[in-house]
């Protein structure tokens, strides 16, 4: 795939000139770019690059591999696709709109193919200028647990978006997916074989006691009884708990069966690392 140039022809100096963003940054990747510079970038950044920035904005954090799977699929080889993604990400970083989180050996940020990207404060402001529906948000350095959770949600989104057996009709990230007294990690509507499937997804990393999971399940049951979602959507979504392994899956299934009674039909427990089926 031929990647569109980052900047319009006629302004090549912007590709090489050190920007004020590169000079004014703190340890957390907070870039400070003037309003004039942001307006200039808004005219120069290609649409494909804006799409990448929007994906990072939606997910909060994305790895290079996830960005490649979402936006760089035309090249013949995986290595070529990764190189194309890296070239664009480097340009957006040099423009002060993206930053790569520091690597931590042995942690979630380790690995040469798992660079993690987020918008800088300037990146948020840029999207707000270019796409008014986006509101600026300050960049910050996440905790390891929050980062792991966010990347798991991002991975779920990437799988839904790239699954060739379905069409992703609607996606809601936090906080847009929240309901009254409910805070699912993701809400989605998928189309497969002419049927629409509605989903509430909960990422479970085996860090909470089953009693807390059941407490959340009871809140879903209360929301189901309220009829609010059915009135809004016509159906109540299947609540899917995505767990790390078979042991956790068995444990949650047993607790849901013993504690939730007839409301157990609202829930499904699946192993996240398996090939997920989004049609049942």
Give the H/E segment covering residue 100: strand 98-100
pLDDT given at position 3 = 40
Tell me the H-state helices in 11-120: 13-16, 20-23, 35-44, 47-59, 64-71, 78-94
CA distance 50 to 39: 14
CA distance 237 to 200: 6
Coil, helix or strand for 101?
A: coil
Asked if residue 188 and residue 260 are part of one domain, the reply reads yes
Domain of residue 230 covers: 163-271
98-128 pLDDT, tens digit per residue, is 999 986 544 555 554 589 999 999 999 888 8
Average of per-residue pLDDT values in the chain:
84
pTM as predicted: 0.84
Asked if residue 251 and residue 218 are part of one domain, the reply reads yes
Name residue, tokens 């890296």: 86
Single residue among 80, 113, 143 that ends a domain in this structure? 143
The pair of three-digit structure tokens given for residue 146, joined into one six-digit string = 């929050």
Asked if residue 84 and residue 40 are part of one domain, the reply reads yes
Asked if residue 113 and residue 214 are part of one domain, the reply reads no
For residue 158, is it within any domain?
A: no
Task: Provide the sign of the torsion angle of the four alpha carbons 84, 143, 184, 177, taken in this order.
Answer: negative
Task: Count the Cβ atoms, other than its own, within 10 Å of residue 93.
Answer: 19
The CATH number that applies at residue 103 is 1.10.10
For residue 48, is it within any domain?
A: yes
Name residue, tokens 């991975």: 155
pLDDT given at position 115 = 92
Q: For the chain, how many structural domains are there in total? A: 2
Asked if residue 174 and residue 79 are part of one domain, the reply reads no
Asked if residue 216 and residue 107 are part of one domain, the reply reads no
CA distance 50 to 54: 6
For residue 1, is it within any domain?
A: no
The pair of three-digit structure tokens given for residue 129, joined into one six-digit string = 């200028």
Coil, helix or strand for 104?
A: coil
Single residue among 113, 143, 173 that ends a domain in this structure? 143
pLDDT given at position 102 = 82
């Amino acid at each position: 795939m031929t990647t569109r140039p980052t900047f319009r022809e006629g302004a090549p100096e912007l590709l090489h000139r050190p920007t004020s963003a590169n000079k004014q940054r703190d340890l957390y990747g907070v870039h400070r770019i003037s309003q004039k510079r942001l307006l200039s970038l808004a005219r120069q950044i290609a649409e494909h690059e804006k799409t990448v920035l929007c994906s990072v904005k939606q997910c909060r954090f994305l790895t290079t591999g996830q960005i490649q799977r979402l936006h760089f699929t035309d090249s013949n080889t995986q290595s070529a696709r990764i190189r194309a993604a890296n070239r664009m990400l480097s340009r957006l970083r040099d423009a002060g709109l993206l930053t790569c989180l520091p690597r931590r050996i042995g942690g979630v940020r380790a690995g040469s193919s798992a660079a993690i990207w987020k918008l800088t404060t300037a990146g948020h402001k840029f999207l707000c200028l270019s796409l008014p529906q986006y509101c600026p948000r300050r960049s910050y350095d996440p905790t390891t647990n929050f980062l792991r959770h966010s990347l798991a949600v991002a991975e779920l989104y990437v799988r839904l978006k790239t699954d060739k057996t379905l069409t992703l009709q609607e996606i809601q990230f936090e906080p847009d997916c929240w309901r009254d007294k409910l805070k699912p990690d993701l809400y989605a509507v998928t189309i497969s074989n002419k049927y629409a499937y509605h989903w509430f997804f909960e990422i479970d990393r085996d860090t909470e006691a089953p009693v807390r999971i059941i407490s959340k399940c009871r809140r879903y049951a209360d929301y189901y009884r309220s009829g609010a979602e059915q009135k809004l959507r016509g159906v109540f979504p299947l609540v899917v708990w995505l767990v790390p392994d078979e042991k956790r899956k068995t444990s949650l299934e047993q607790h849901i069966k013993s504690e939730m009674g007839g409301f157990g039909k609202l829930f499904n427990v699946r192993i996240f690392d398996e090939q997920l089926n989004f049609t049942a």
